[in-house]
Amino acid sequence: MIKSGWKVLGVALIAGSLFAGCAEKELLGMSGDDMIEKIITAESEQASYYAEGVLKMWTDEQITNTIQVKEWVDGKTGQKRIETEDGGNVSYAVHNGSEILLYEKEAKTAFSMDSSTLQQEPNPTQKQMLLDQLERMRDTHNVKMLGQEKLQNREVMHIELTPKDGNSLLMSSQYWIDPKKWTVIKATSTYGDTKSEILYDVIDYNPEFTDQTFTLDIPADVEVKKMNDVMNNKEITMEEAEKAVGKPFLQYAEGDLQLSRIEMTSSMGEHSRDEVTLYYVKNDKPEISITVFKAPEENVDEKLLPDEEITTVRDTEGSYMSMIRNLSWTEDGLRYSIMGENEAWTAEKLQSWAESLQFSK
């Protein structure tokens, strides 16, 4: 159940009010690439809104989820509230500016997380999140303006992004955007044999918020658990990190990045293991992380994920996922995974950074 809450929270944060500052008539004559560039360079402020929509998901052309979504966003404070209903199961997600609360009503489970502990910016705007996606995709995807259409009684601009490599498993996306308010009215994504669609039928740009909007009334008999406790995360020292993985491992030696913290995650189940993650920052802003764990004796799943492709890392075979800027490889019995936190971390830059890693002296 908890995975559903996080999944819907992420989708709802990505969708919604996106852009402002571009003139509608300017965009009508633009190519897809020119329009994306215009949107990326435009400046705007986060909008306040209330919205209702439906999120649908398919696997192998069979619908797996139909989720009713309600969203409240305060653009001035950054507070967010999301309510979802999926087959009678109701869940709530609230970010009050400093803490994220998740509550699954039917399961009677609740979780909290201090958002200041998140490696990424704890409260990115929808614009920032989608622009980050567009920035990553425009090098690997063809961007096409399909024209102006009518949707939900609004004039919308229809944009399509398709992989330049027709044989790849990269995600394909389409967006229907209201250029007057720069709101996504509808968005679809196709990712391997899965597809998702979100469609909004109610959007109010003059919402009224109360003191209760960004709070959750969780029943007294429901225990609110700390997310870090559930995930078995804890901050550790370098000595403890090397002990957890069983040997010294590659790490960033010198340069303009600083190590901010080291965390260990202990997973349970059949393939239990301890994972160590080192987080690096520049000017106190997240830049890159490296995760290390003992490589399994047997490859549990040799099948590549959608958006994952084979590449070479440190003279060995590895893989790269462009959507999350993640480079992975196995070396000397350890599995490494490095992830860039912003669009400046291209595949080439990640590979170069991997080459610079060395054992601590």
Quick: pLDDT tens for 187-231.
Answer: 888 877 788 888 989 988 899 999 899 999 999 999 988 876 655
Q: Using CA atoms, how far apart are residues 312 and 201, in angstroms rounded to an integer?
A: 46
Could you tell me the two tokens for 223? 């225990």
pLDDT tens for 243-282 read 999 999 999 987 889 999 999 887 644 456 789 999 999 8
CB-based contact 178:201 (threshold 8 Å): no
pLDDT of residue 232: 64
Given a cut of 50, whether residue 14 has pLDDT beyond it is no
Given a cut of 60, whether residue 324 has pLDDT beyond it is yes
> Average pLDDT of 9-25?
38
CB-based contact 86:25 (threshold 8 Å): no
Q: Using CA atoms, how far apart are residues 205 and 203, in angstroms rounded to an integer?
A: 7
CB-based contact 17:183 (threshold 8 Å): yes
> Average pLDDT of 106-122?
71
**Unique residue bearing structure tokens 């870090």:** 228
Q: Sort strands 224-226 and 109-114 into parallel, antiparallel or unpaired.
A: parallel
Mean pLDDT lowest among 35-39, 262-266, 326-330:
35-39
Given a cut of 70, whether residue 361 has pLDDT beyond it is no
Given a cut of 60, whether residue 26 has pLDDT beyond it is no
> Average pLDDT of 305-310?
70
User: Phi and psi dihedrals of 316, rounded to 5?
Assistant: -135, 165
pLDDT of residue 122: 41
Given a cut of 80, whether residue 61 has pLDDT beyond it is yes
The per-residue DSSP string of 23-86 comes to: -HHHHHT--HHHHHHHHHH----PPPEEEEEEEEEEETTEEEEEEEEEEEE-TTT--EEEEEEE
User: Phi and psi dihedrals of 37, rounded to 5?
Assistant: -60, -40
pLDDT of residue 147: 83
pLDDT tens for 275-286 read 999 999 988 888
pLDDT of residue 32: 59
- For the whole model, what pTM was predicted? 0.61
